Chain A
Amino acid sequence: MNIAHTPDAGPQTPLPGQHIIKLAILAVGGQGGGVLSDWVVETAEASGYTVQATSVPGVAQRTGATIYSIEMTPRTDRLPVLALMPSPGDVDIVIAAELMEAGRAVMRGLVTPDRTTLIASTHRMLAISEKIAIGNGIADGDAVFATVRDAAKQFIGFDMEKIAADAGTMISASLFGALAGSGALPFERAAFEAAIRKSGRGVDASLRAFGTAFERARDTHASTAANDEPRPVPGPAAPNGPTHLLRQWRGLCDRIAAYPLAMRDMATRGLAKVVDFQDLAYGSDYLDRLDAVLEIDNATGAEVEEWALATAAAKHVANAMAYDDVIRVADRKTRSARFTRIEREIQAPDDAIVQVTEFMHPRGEEVCSMLPTRFGRFIEARPRLLAGLDRMVNRGRRVRTDSLIWFTVLFTLAGLRRWRRRLLRHAKETAHIDEWLTQALQTAPQNYALAVEIVSCRRLIKGYSDTHQRGLSKFDRVLATVPLLVPRQDGGDWLRRLREAALKDEDGGALDGAIKTVRSFAGTGDTLAARVKAD
């Protein structure tokens, strides 16, 4: 058990015959915590209880974490003295309107295994720090889930946000349903529902969400602690299309079937990605590259490492080959599946029409990269010409892709796919891929782990325009340290650390620091070699 809990005075001894039910609601501003609090007050008052509720609103309303406190006790002819805030180790029911808020409740010691019923919605509302990370900054929800589940006497946790959204209402309704269904309060279901009815706004939707959450909570037993089943990752997509193309596709798949099992799934996905990006011949190129990697991998004791190098290559070579150029963007924006997805996301009513505006901002570089290689290089070599081109095109453009003209423009751009391999951007990307892969393959015999990390550094390159440039420059800076790391057994580890540092901040301050560290321990070649020998 691992809970933040600092009770000073040992066991609680309430005087006989007296009990105060203490409840705390932890929510994020804007979630309707106030409404939930009002419903609880109404239910308890109507059921013959004296209730006191309070909160600290103010700036916490604006998406900050906020806490509501409610205490209640059967009504007598005297006024009870109730506290105005929940105390660690002294709360019977905690309602958390989001998974991390449940974590926060446990951290604050409000949830204790001797008495607390914890009712938590397991969905995530990401905090700003999780969103602004360059890589994946999302906090580990599974770890929090496991901890909070074990911290409570009774735990009821499921996605109450989804239940509310499906019913067309706010999460307060499903939280209230889960509270009623948990049986933690000594009131009948009808009393809870009456409180919703009395509030008089959006009653039907609230009652629907209440009902669903009620049943779900009632059926929840602490032992099963109903979490939503983790969604299985769907397998690689099988394509449709003309027979002759499908035949060729199967041919490529047969090549993958000969690969070690460990990398087959990734290779199939990668193949689908590059074929979707360009064509089957490009898919064949992809597999050629994998073959080359596999050959080195097999020669360097891959079986021990589960073909880590080839698997990483299957992933990152596909991503590298399916680079983000104008043609790809235009292609993606003019596909039927996109219309369907927008309709699903926007949830426009049937009688409405939807107009779609894109936010494009092409620069001279992008246009230049779409030119035939030689012509493109010619312009690039002349800064004034390039600047002139940039002046012509560099401006924000709002284009309506539901209109015929702009759709046709993008559709035509997407059609440039046929000539893509002759364009400047392709030449550059291909050269870059070759250089990167060669470096990895040359490293593999000397330092296998480092080679795997070199391949994985491809993750640093993403985004468009300046963001893309910044990613590239970080990629280059990270890979520049490879010669220093080759002789080191922990070289792979270090490169991974550098990559993580590169994903830490935008301007690369953390990366600079990490590179400095690497250079410092590298010192002169002699001492490093000596140190490696000594190890």
Chain B
Amino acid sequence: MAERSFAKEVEKLRLGDGETFHGEGILAITKALLQCGVGYVGGYQGAPISHLMDVLADAQDILAELGVRYEANASESAAAAMLAASVHYPIRGAVAFKSTVGTNVASDALANLASGGVTGGALVIVGEDYGEGSSIMQERSHAFAMKSQIWLLDPRPNLPSIVKAVEDGFELSEATNTPVMLEVRIRACHLSGAFETKANRRPPLTVREAVDNPRRQTDRIVLPPAAFVHEQEKIAKRWPAAQAFIKERGLNELFGPPNGKLGIILQGGMYNSVVRALQRLGLADINGDTDVPLYALNVTYPLVDDEIEAFCAGKDAVLVVEEGQPNYIEQAIGAMLHAGGVSTRVVGKTALPMAGEYTGQVMLDGVGRFLREYGPEVLAPEHRAPNRPREPQPAPELAEIVPQRPPGFCTGCPERPIFAAMKLVEQEHGKHQIAADIGCHLFSILPPFEIGGTTMGYGLGPASNAAFHGGGGKRPISIIGDGGFWHNGLSSSIGNAVYNEADGVILVVDNYYSAATGGQDVLSSRADNRSKSTNHPIADAVKGVGVKWVRQIDRTYDVAKMRDTLAEALTTPEKGPKVIVASSECMLNRQRREKPLMAKAVKDGRRVVKPRFGVDEDVCTGDHACMRLSGCPSLSVKTLDDPLRDDPVAAIDQTCVGCGNCGEVADAAVLCPSFYRADIIRNPTRSERALARLRQRVTRALAGWRARRRLDFAGDAAA
């Protein structure tokens, strides 16, 4: 069950000719696929493309009606391999995943696909996780396009342009027998907007029809000598065909006056930022009408030489706006102009920064710098020579006070007790070499846990400890999530460890979902999924590949058990990898699932127990040891109105879901007796009610008796 439901929104996918779609970028892309008569879709979740996968999952009925096959692939590699269906069959296919990590995983299949080429249009939609909020290393998809000769689209970030790019992408792919990559930046994926729709098209040849009539062409298969032919074909046939198609269809766009001394060549995705910079410099209006010639590359690979030469002809200088590094486009344009004898100056990373996101300020600074240097006369006086320097005025007191707020585990997260247990083990057995993996559990690297030293890729946690698996005085520990486990961890990490007789501890964090990407189901999910096969235990899989020492923990909140199991794994004489599968359901998903059920049960008059935690503020001494083993958002501190007490005390707010972690930690770490759990029983039975009344009467009488015999400062006697 995914974090966000698109059940209502997917109805927009049924819009017909001439209607207007209002909604988010990812939904628009899905609609565009259906309008193009796509035959099959797939992919792997991950920001910013997760929601596209969720949309597809929620749109299964609509897809089925059109005869479109939908597959939630096991990995990006599997997704890219699925595009093989377009190699011999004239069927359009599209897969989506995040870049660049997904593209890394997929690159083997992508390279093979690109070599043999395609018959039906093959579209790879990559969501760029670059810049602010990104969770991955900062690299460019552009390199993948170049190395495999896949055409790369980078449309202007508005819904009509993105939808058009999908349509153009399929046609370009078919016209050139080459897969096409559509790059959508993270903000464009979540962009709200509108476009005019067309009716959905049933694929002319469905995959069901195709499978009944198998075809093959040996010269499309990547085997020598065909592979050598493919390489020649890419250069001699597909490349010129692509350039011709791009030119003929006008995929790249020109804005502003046809002539001028200066111009800007930009990636389509940068268009809005460039226009905003021009707007702020007084050189463009609200609709983007500008005095500066712009050449927007909706296709950033391949470049069209004569279009670029024509744009540059007669200009003193052009600014190349290309986000990220290396500056492939700038280099290509420079070489192109040089070879063509065009003397236009190419300015790129000298005006704009080589690395880093091109934010609004960076763009304003860069475009301003370019214009002031090469064409100050186009600028109004206040922009040509602004009353600067208005020196940056940092707010030192704010910078010192305002705390960082990195993402962390959610309230009630079942992974928190796992890392609390690891910290306790650390206190007892010292620090260990710990390799982390991709997933929510990666938050363990941040305070308060500060556990884990590397993260080498999805499902590669245990593999990245391989060098230490020969053993030593202390065993290395590695962490892997259930998502990473099924993505490729079973073979790359577990199988690898078994085969190499690894003497390490592998902790599999199983929260029943691929939680970090938005709560999609995986093989070991415990929920019933109407179109996918779930409930395949990780422990069985681990044993199946030969692990002998396996411990399954079904309630991670049992901190003491977690701690003891970890300690056992670190000390057992057993040879080979020691695997602990720590399973508890992702609390975010659990709450989403259980809350409505609970509410209904209460309404129906059924007995429901809802636990919540609290802190006795007069027992808490304000040492915050519990915080350092928890970090739960609902466990915070508050300042008391008591001048005798210097330090704030622990407090639990209304968002507590009663997971029990704080009580368990207080117990396992022998912290303090401040925590209590209050079980709120709705619709109690009659005898429960009677017993509760009796208890209350007696306990209050006793408490009142004592209160009346002493000085009472808190109103105990009255209560």
B711 contacts A81, C-beta separation under 8 Å: no
Residues of chain A within 8 A (CB-CB) of B669 are 466
A56 contacts B710, C-beta separation under 8 Å: no
Select which of A4, A78, A318, A355 is within 8 A of B394 by beta carbon: A4
Residues of chain B within 8 A (CB-CB) of A30 are 410-411, 633
A114 CB to closest chain B CB, in angstroms? 12
B641 contacts A231, C-beta separation under 8 Å: yes
Select which of A100, A246, A336 is within 8 A of B717 by beta carbon: A336
* Nearest-CB residue, chain B, relative to A505: B628
Residues of chain B within 8 A (CB-CB) of A346 are 612, 614, 678, 680
A242 to B404, CA, bound (A): 53
Tell me if B91 is interfacial: C-beta within 8 Å of chain A.
no
**Chain B contact residues, CB within 8 Å of chain A:** 22, 47-48, 129, 131-135, 157-158, 160, 186-188, 190-193, 271-273, 275-276, 279-282, 284-288, 359-361, 364-365, 368, 380, 382-383, 386-388, 390, 392-399, 401-411, 440, 443, 446-448, 516, 560, 612, 614, 616, 618-619, 621-625, 627-628, 631, 633, 635-637, 639, 641-648, 652, 654, 663-664, 666-673, 675-684, 688-689, 692, 694-696, 698-700, 702-704, 706-719
A462 contacts B622, C-beta separation under 8 Å: yes
Query: A8-B365, A402-B695, A465-B671 given as contacts; is B679 within 8 A of A335 (CB)?
Result: no
Per-position contact with B for A406-447: 1 when CB-CB < 8 Å, else 0? 011001001100000000000000000000000000000000
B384 CB to closest chain A CB, in angstroms? 10
Tell me if A130 is interfacial: C-beta within 8 Å of chain B.
yes
B708 contacts A324, C-beta separation under 8 Å: no
Residues of chain A within 8 A (CB-CB) of B275 are 81
Query: A52-B192, A136-B647, A464-B672 given as contacts; is B280 within 8 A of A9 (CB)?
Result: yes
Residues of chain A within 8 A (CB-CB) of B188 are 54, 84
Question: What are the 9 A-B residue pairs with the smallest beta carbon separation, nearest first?
Answer: A87-B360, A10-B386, A64-B407, A58-B47, A336-B719, A56-B133, A396-B667, A462-B621, A127-B403
A340 to B717, CA, bound (A): 12
A98 CB to closest chain B CB, in angstroms? 9
Select which of B284, B360, B407, B681 is within 8 A of A61 by beta carbon: B407
Tell me if A144 is interfacial: C-beta within 8 Å of chain B.
yes
A79 contacts B158, C-beta separation under 8 Å: yes
Select which of A1, A80, A233, A396 is within 8 A of B287 by beta carbon: A80
B346 CB to closest chain A CB, in angstroms? 22
A219 to B684, CA, bound (A): 47
Query: A103-B398, A129-B403, A336-B719 given as contacts; is B673 within 8 A of A359 (CB)?
Result: yes
A358 contacts B676, C-beta separation under 8 Å: yes
B273 contacts A58, C-beta separation under 8 Å: no
Residues of chain A within 8 A (CB-CB) of B710 are 241, 245, 279
Residues of chain B within 8 A (CB-CB) of A529 are none
A231 to B639, CA, bound (A): 12
Q: Identify the interface centre among B129, B619, B696: most chain A CB within 10 Å of its CB.
A: B619
A337 to B639, CA, bound (A): 19
A535 CB to closest chain B CB, in angstroms? 31
* Nearest-CB residue, chain B, relative to A136: B647
A465 contacts B616, C-beta separation under 8 Å: no
B707 contacts A335, C-beta separation under 8 Å: yes
Select which of A59, A396, A398 is within 8 A of B407 by beta carbon: A59
B719 contacts A1, C-beta separation under 8 Å: no
Tell me if A403 is interfacial: C-beta within 8 Å of chain B.
yes
Select which of A269, A337, A351 is within 8 A of B682 by beta carbon: A351
Select which of B365, B395, B703, B712 is within 8 A of A241 by beta carbon: B712
* Nearest-CB residue, chain A, relative to B707: A336
B395 contacts A63, C-beta separation under 8 Å: no
A18 to B131, CA, bound (A): 30
Query: Which residues in chain A, 266-291, are within 8 Å of chain B measured between CB atoms?
Result: 266, 269-270, 272-273, 275-276, 279-280
A239 contacts B711, C-beta separation under 8 Å: yes
A423 CB to closest chain B CB, in angstroms? 18
Query: A273-B644, A358-B673, A463-B625 given as contacts; is B380 within 8 A of A13 (CB)?
Result: yes
Q: Identify the interface centre among A81, A130, A351, A398: most chain B CB within 10 Å of its CB.
A: A81
A4 contacts B398, C-beta separation under 8 Å: yes
A325 CB to closest chain B CB, in angstroms? 11
Residues of chain B within 8 A (CB-CB) of A100 are 401-403, 405
B251 CB to closest chain A CB, in angstroms? 19
Query: Which residues in chain A, 196-236, are within 8 Å of chain B measured between CB atoms?
Result: 231, 233-234
Tell me if A29 is interfacial: C-beta within 8 Å of chain B.
yes
B692 contacts A54, C-beta separation under 8 Å: no
Residues of chain B within 8 A (CB-CB) of A73 are 286
Query: A81-B288, A506-B625 given as contacts; is B192 within 8 A of A5 (CB)?
Result: no
A66 to B407, CA, bound (A): 9
Tell me if A381 is interfacial: C-beta within 8 Å of chain B.
no
Residues of chain B within 8 A (CB-CB) of A408 are 702
B402 CB to closest chain A CB, in angstroms? 4
A335 contacts B714, C-beta separation under 8 Å: yes
A12 to B282, CA, bound (A): 8
A41 contacts B192, C-beta separation under 8 Å: yes
Tell me if A534 is interfacial: C-beta within 8 Å of chain B.
no
CB pairs A–B below 8 angstroms (29 shown): A2-B393, A9-B280, A14-B279, A15-B286, A55-B190, A56-B133, A57-B48, A58-B48, A59-B133, A62-B407, A66-B133, A83-B273, A88-B361, A103-B401, A131-B636, A136-B646, A144-B398, A240-B718, A324-B621, A348-B678, A353-B692, A354-B678, A358-B675, A361-B671, A363-B670, A403-B695, A415-B706, A459-B646, A462-B621
A467 to B629, CA, bound (A): 13
B689 CB to closest chain A CB, in angstroms? 6
A396 contacts B560, C-beta separation under 8 Å: yes
Tell me if A139 is interfacial: C-beta within 8 Å of chain B.
yes
* Nearest-CB residue, chain A, relative to B407: A64
A415 to B131, CA, bound (A): 63
B361 contacts A270, C-beta separation under 8 Å: no
B684 contacts A353, C-beta separation under 8 Å: yes
A319 to B192, CA, bound (A): 58
Query: Which residues in chain A, 352-366, are within 8 Å of chain B measured between CB atoms?
Result: 352-361, 363
Residues of chain B within 8 A (CB-CB) of A398 are 663, 667
Q: Identify the interface centre among B664, B675, B713: most chain A CB within 10 Å of its CB.
A: B713
Residues of chain B within 8 A (CB-CB) of A139 are 401-403
A5 contacts B676, C-beta separation under 8 Å: no
A328 to B673, CA, bound (A): 11
A6 to B631, CA, bound (A): 35
A410 CB to closest chain B CB, in angstroms? 10
Residues of chain B within 8 A (CB-CB) of A280 are 711
A126 contacts B401, C-beta separation under 8 Å: no
Residues of chain B within 8 A (CB-CB) of A32 are none
